[in-house]
């Protein structure tokens, strides 16, 4: 016989012996098993002040229920027992245990109740006696040896005695003594570690590894149940047949918490499903309702879960226990809230806004660095190699992938959800992002969704941009952690790497006050040939996050940090010490030197803000070769970058918990949906309790208190919910309708004005009606709209732009000014030309000096912002179009912030209490687009004629006129058709004919604001013509 066969035989013999011994113990008369021993447990008699809490991270390290050594209880903290009441049940049958005891247990901050009959105590007692005898027998198996070794020598083993009197003979007047006997019995059992840690004891008192985790909130009812498979709301997740034969019943440990239920597998301890409490949460019992004898049905928006109990009364206990607990601790989740949102209005919430990504990225990086347990990230596009702090003065320390790897190594769990693009339509390469992040560390888990074929979702995108740290700090807004997004208030056009002033007379004459490029140089650093593959342009390459098309193309892709130093070896895997610290230019000591204004003091010499792919101009050329992050793909010496203007926010506490809940809902849904994520390596996520939300371990500096509500666009395909949610759309409409003085909007798109055929969202109509109401009441009311001068799609506007670009232009113009459904169409019908007193449409543009030439470029407005009356703000990821607003299409997330702190101000010439959050954000936006300072007194009153006409409209008109004169910019009101376009671009520009005079003209520019050209290509049909690939796409893609 071979050694292997011998070993196998020996093992099977041991297993048989162990099984025989177990059977002998089961059949022993337990009265013979009493063993003498002392009765003291020093560990739990004392109640020291320093009770050790179980960390929240324990949810990722659960063990099988019978495994020895698992921490369930708080160390150094006793379990206190009280038998509260006795219920006596009458029955037609003779019942040996008619009394039900309600037992209250207290352990640290946790209090919970269990109901047990005397027969349950008897069964429990017999099981403990068998266990005690079993432990004394040295069965030669590994698990048994470990169990024996876990019991300390000399540990008390004397079983407390259970009353012997039969239950049926106990009279009512003796109930109090019976209660005291049972109290003492259970108290003594729970003092002894050997019995307290036995899985049978934990089942009897209803506790598990997840019972006493502080951040999971109060402890609810727990216990074993049988659960039926299926019941998911989403097609494809359930069994194909309808008959009973298709269902599987499995034994699970059910845990009830204040805002969710979950069940665990007893053998492994793995969390195998999480059911969130929501407005549809409901519990039914009975065979008629559940098609199951002693059944219990629990419904929410995502699933109808069927459980089986062992008696009708048992099912009633479960229903009552769950219902009472949820209504007491989780009532906020049971109702629909304002605007139809899943999230309640949270008062006294710390919030902060961000204008442009420089400060946003820094705060996100600092918050990640402070993470202790979890980081959640979801983006439309994520570029792992972006630098979060610039200029780069600490090597790769603040590169996104380096931060995440560092935190993962410290034990922080990192969960990332990426939009899985239609690869033929979009070049954001989420597969590369996923692969790069997953290779960093096992603690980083990345999911992509949707699977277009299996889910039949081809047109819609996940568009949220969220970063959530420890479920306590949540960043919500329009800024992806991606290429092209980083920018500051200067919106530089150039970044060639030298801070040295140009020395030739020609370039000196061009250095006007506003040429604030990060670095211009007459010395060209030779570019290494890149060998970029030509790009095949497919229709759906669209605006970045968002446009309908945008989501399919790369239009507004997140700008990523590009190479900061001139060093050539910033490799994508240079995670160790590949240094990107700016070098000192050896030539920079000659001649006059300009220092660079940065947040880290003055830097001289070669420095870059945008490295490699981060230096981009996506209308000129879409991203390519994203797997080579530090290789330039456009020539930064001839092509200016396209600046990126964006808005974001951060919220804390209860509102951050609400944002995290949305992420958790999406993560858990995706885990169930996609078979590849069903493994244990992708865990279910659990929401932290709102009861601990005020315990902020980290706080973003300069946040102010306000009233915050989280709002979203979500549906069955995106979040697995039965009814779609469009609370962002409803919030926009409500804020516009109820505004009293002004509305300020910045948005990447402006597609609205419903015709109930092609366009359905009513934001444009609400704006028009609000203006007409002001006109009828003879009151001042202003609407400011700032959008990109061109949609963010690749295309040469000098030839009319691509089909995608023109399609978005069509719908933007249809909303603003073309046709009777447009805002101006609705206004002119009633007020004629007086509309100009109420509403202004603008874009942003800037200029710079590049290699001795004057250049200009539009500033891409990617914001999704609404401010009303200096007291209400909506910031999020949702564009003003049907894709973002209708709920059934793209998934979106936003916050509505209403001020509670006010400051003295002016509104329409009258004294006014302005909200601190809203007013400071408006003033910063005005300062950026108009120039000047945050404290500019001209900007204080946004409604008065002096500001609206003499500052806002006058600045926009003057700037637009100068840009037209110097650069002959497109889009332009002088170009109404393609024939005029060809003629327009053939004429000479002042910038090339007389650069000195052009520079003098440009000195008159203030800020970036320019009037939006209403008449550009107004004589052309801009929708895709028949036969083009864009014309084959459903119209909803563009709207």
DSSP 8-state class, residue 257: -
Do 78 and 191 meet the contact criterion of CB atoms below 8 Å apart?
yes
Q: Compute the residue count for the chain.
A: 1039
Tell me which DSSP letter residue 558 carries. Answer: P
DSSP string, 157-215: -PPPPPP-S-GGG--GGGHHHHHHHHHHHHHHHHH-HHHHTSHHHHHHHT--TTTTBGG
Query: ω into residue 450 within 30 of 0, thus cis?
Result: yes
* 869 is an active site residue: yes
Task: With beta carbons less than 8 A apart as the criterion, state whether 571 and 630 touch.
Answer: yes
Task: Quote the CA–CA distance of 730 and 723 in Å, as a whole number.
Answer: 15
- The DSSP code for 1036 is G
- Answer for the pair 340, 727: CB distance below 8 angstroms, yes or no: yes
Ranges of beta strands (E only) in 663-799 are 704-714, 725-726, 742-747, 782-786
Among candidate residues 922, 838, 990, 892, the one with its CA nearest the CA of residue 460: 892
Q: What whole-number distance in Å separates Cα of residue 713 and Cα of residue 723? A: 11
CA distance 927 to 857: 20
**Whole-Å CA distances, 736 to 47, 783, 858:** 58, 10, 28
Helix (H, G, I), strand (E, B) or coil at 779: coil
Candidates 560, 864, 939, 989; catalytic one: 864
Among residues 862, 882, 941, 964, the one annotated as catalytic is 862
- Number of Cα atoms under 13 Å in the Cβ half of residue 262: 26
**Alpha carbons within 13 A on the beta-carbon side of 452:** 12
Tell me if residue 864 is catalytic: yes
997 annotated active-site? no
Q: φ and ψ at 975, to 5 degrees?
A: -115, 105
Q: How far is CA 994 from CA 147, 512, 517, 991, 997, in A?
A: 90, 15, 21, 6, 6
3-state secondary structure of 154: coil
- Cα end-to-end span (Å), the chain: 76
Distance CA 704, CA 651 (A): 10
Q: Check 257, 463, 553, 662 and give the catalytic one.
A: 463
**DSSP category for residue 232:** B
Q: Where are the beta strands (DSSP E) in 210-289?
A: 222-228, 249-256, 260-264, 271-276, 282-285
Of 660, 654, 656, which is closest to residue 691 (Cα–Cα)? 654
Is 354 within 8 Å of 648 (Cβ atoms)? yes
C-alpha 309/C-alpha 321 separation (Å) is 14
Rounded Cα gap, residues 306 and 298, in angstroms: 7
| Burial group, residue 184, by CB count within 10 angstroms (0-12, 13-18, 19+) | middle
- Compute the half-sphere exposure of residue 531: CA atoms within 13 Å on the CB side of its CA: 1
Which of 815, 942, 943 has its CA nearest to residue 881?
Answer: 815
- 465 as an active site residue: the answer is yes
Burial class for 679, CB neighbours closer than 10 Å (0-12, 13-18, 19+): exposed
Whether the CB-CB separation of 934 and 920 falls below 8 Å is answered with yes
Strand partners, 858: 845
Q: Is 463 a catalytic residue?
A: yes
Describe the crossing of helices 727-738 and 763-776 by its angle, rounded to 10 degrees. 10
Q: Write down the catalytic residue from 199, 232, 465, 741.
A: 465
Q: CA–CA separation, 466 vs 236, rounded Å?
A: 28
**Rounded Cα gap, residues 808 and 540, in angstroms:** 12
Active site residues: 463, 465, 470, 862, 864, 869
């Amino acid at each position: 016989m071979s050694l292997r066969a011998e070993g196998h035989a020996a093992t099977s013999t041991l297993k048989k012996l162990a099984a025989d011994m177990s059977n002998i113990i089961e059949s022993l008369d337990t009265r013979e098993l009493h063993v003498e021993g002392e009765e003291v447990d020093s560990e739990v008699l004392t109640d020291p002040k320093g009770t050790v809490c179980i960390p929240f991270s324990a949810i990722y390290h659960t063990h099988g229920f019978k495994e020895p050594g698992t921490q369930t209880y708080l160390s150094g903290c006793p379990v206190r027992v009280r038998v509260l009441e006795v219920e006596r049940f009458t029955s037609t049958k003779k019942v040996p245990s008619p009394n039900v005891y309600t037992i209250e247990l207290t352990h640290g901050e946790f209090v919970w109740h269990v109901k047990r009959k005397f027969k349950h105590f008897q069964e429990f007692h017999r099981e403990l006696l068998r266990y005690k005898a079993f432990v004394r027998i040295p069965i030669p198996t590994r698990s048994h040896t470990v169990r024996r070794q876990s019991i300390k020598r000399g540990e008390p083993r004397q079983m407390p005695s259970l009353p012997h009197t039969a239950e049926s003979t106990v009279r009512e007047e003796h109930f109090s003594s019976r209660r005291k006997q049972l109290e003492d019995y259970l108290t003594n059992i729970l003092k002894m570690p050997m019995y307290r840690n036995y899985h049978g004891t934990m089942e009897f008192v209803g506790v598990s590894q997840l019972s006493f985790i502080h951040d999971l909130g109060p402890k609810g009812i727990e216990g074993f149940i049988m659960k039926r498979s299926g019941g998911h709301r989403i097609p494809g997740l359930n069994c194909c047949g309808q008959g009973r034969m298709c269902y599987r019943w499995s034994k699970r440990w059910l845990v009830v918490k204040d805002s969710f239920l979950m069940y665990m597998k007893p053998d492994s301890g793995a969390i195998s499903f999480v059911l969130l409490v929501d407005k549809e949460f409901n519990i039914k019992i009975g065979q008629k309702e559940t098609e199951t004898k002693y059944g219990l049905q629990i419904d929410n928006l995502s699933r109808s879960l069927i459980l089986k109990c062992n008696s009708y009364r048992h099912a009633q206990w479960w229903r009552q226990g769950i219902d009472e607990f949820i209504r007491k601790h989780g009532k906020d989740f049971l109702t629909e809230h304002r605007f139809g949102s899943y999230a309640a209005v949270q008062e006294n919430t710390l919030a902060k806004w961000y204008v442009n990504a420089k400060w946003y990225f820094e705060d996100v990086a600092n918050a990640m660095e402070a993470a202790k347990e979890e980081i959640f990230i979801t983006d439309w596009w994520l570029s792992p190699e972006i630098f979060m702090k610039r200029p780069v003065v600490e090597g790769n320390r603040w590169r996104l992938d380096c931060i995440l790897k560092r935190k993962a190594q410290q034990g922080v769990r990192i969960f990332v959800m990426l939009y899985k693009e239609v690869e033929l339509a979009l070049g954001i390469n989420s597969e590369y992002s996923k692969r790069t992040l997953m290779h960093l560390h096992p603690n980083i888990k990345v999911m992509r969704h949707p699977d277009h074929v299996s889910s039949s979702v081809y047109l819609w995108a996940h568009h949220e941009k969220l970063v959530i740290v420890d479920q306590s700090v949540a960043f919500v807004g329009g800024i992806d952690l991606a290429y092209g997004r980083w920018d500051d208030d200067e919106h530089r056009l150039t970044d060639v790497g030298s801070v040295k002033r140009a020395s030739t007379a020609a370039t000196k004459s061009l250095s006007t006050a506003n040429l604030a490029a990060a670095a211009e140089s007459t010395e060209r650093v030779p570019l290494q040939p890149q060998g970029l593959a030509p790009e095949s342009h497919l229709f759906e390459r669209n605006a970045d996050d968002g446009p309908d098309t945008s989501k399919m193309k790369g239009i507004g892709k997140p700008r990523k940090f590009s190479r900061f130093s001139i060093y050539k070896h910033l490799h994508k895997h240079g995670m160790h010490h590949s240094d990107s610290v700016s070098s000192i230019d050896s030539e920079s000591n000659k001649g006059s030197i300009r220092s660079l204004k940065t947040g880290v003091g003055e830097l001289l010499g070669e420095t870059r803000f945008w490295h490699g792919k981060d230096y981009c101009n996506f209308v000129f050329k879409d991203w390519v070769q994203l797997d080579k992050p530090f290789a330039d793909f456009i020539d930064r010496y001839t092509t200016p970058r396209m600046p990126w203007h964006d808005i974001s926010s951060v919220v804390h506490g209860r509102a951050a918990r609400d944002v995290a809940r949305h992420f958790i809902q999406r993560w858990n849904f995706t885990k169930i949906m996609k078979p590849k994520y069903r493994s244990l390596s992708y865990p279910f996520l659990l929401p932290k309790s709102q009861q601990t939300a005020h315990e902020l371990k980290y706080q973003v500096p300069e946040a102010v208190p306000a009233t915050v509500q989280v709002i979203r666009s979500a549906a069955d395909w995106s979040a697995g919910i039965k009814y779609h949610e469009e609370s962002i759309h409803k919030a926009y409409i409500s804020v516009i309708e109820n505004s009293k003085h002004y509305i300020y909007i910045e948005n990447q798109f402006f597609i609205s004005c419903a015709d109930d055929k092609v366009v359905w969202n009513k934001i444009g109509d609400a704006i028009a009606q609000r203006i007409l109401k002001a006109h009828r009441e003879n009151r001042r009311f202003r609407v400011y709209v700032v959008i990109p001068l061109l949609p963010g799609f690749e295309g040469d506007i000098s030839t009319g732009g691509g089909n995608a670009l023109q399609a978005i232009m069509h719908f933007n113009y249809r909303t603003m000014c073309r046709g009777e459904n447009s805002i101006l169409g609705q206004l002119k019908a009633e007020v004629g030309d007086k509309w100009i007193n109420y509403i202004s449409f603008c874009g942003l543009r800037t200029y710079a000096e590049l290699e001795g030439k004057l250049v200009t470029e539009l500033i891409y407005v990617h914001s999704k912002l609404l401010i009303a009356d200096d007291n209400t703000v909506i910031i999020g990821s949702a564009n003003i179009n049907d894709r973002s607003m209708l709920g059934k299409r793209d998934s979106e997330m936003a916050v509505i912030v209403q001020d509670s702190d006010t400051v003295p101000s002016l509104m329409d010439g009258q004294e006014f209490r302005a909200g601190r959050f809203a007013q400071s954000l408006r003033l910063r936006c005005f300062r950026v687009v108009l120039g000047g300072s945050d404290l500019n007194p001209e900007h204080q009153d946004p409604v008065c004629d002096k500001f609206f006409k003499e500052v806002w409209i006058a600045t926009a008109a003057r700037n637009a006129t100068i840009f037209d004169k110097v650069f002959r910019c497109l889009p332009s009101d002088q170009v109404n058709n393609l024939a005029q376009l060809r003629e327009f671009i053939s004429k000479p520009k002042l910038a090339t004919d007389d650069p000195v005079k052009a520079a003098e003209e440009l000195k008159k520019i203030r800020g970036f604001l320019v009037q939006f050209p209403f008449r550009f290509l107004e004589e052309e049909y801009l929708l895709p013509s028949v036969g083009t690939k864009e014309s084959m796409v459903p119209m909803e893609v563009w709207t």
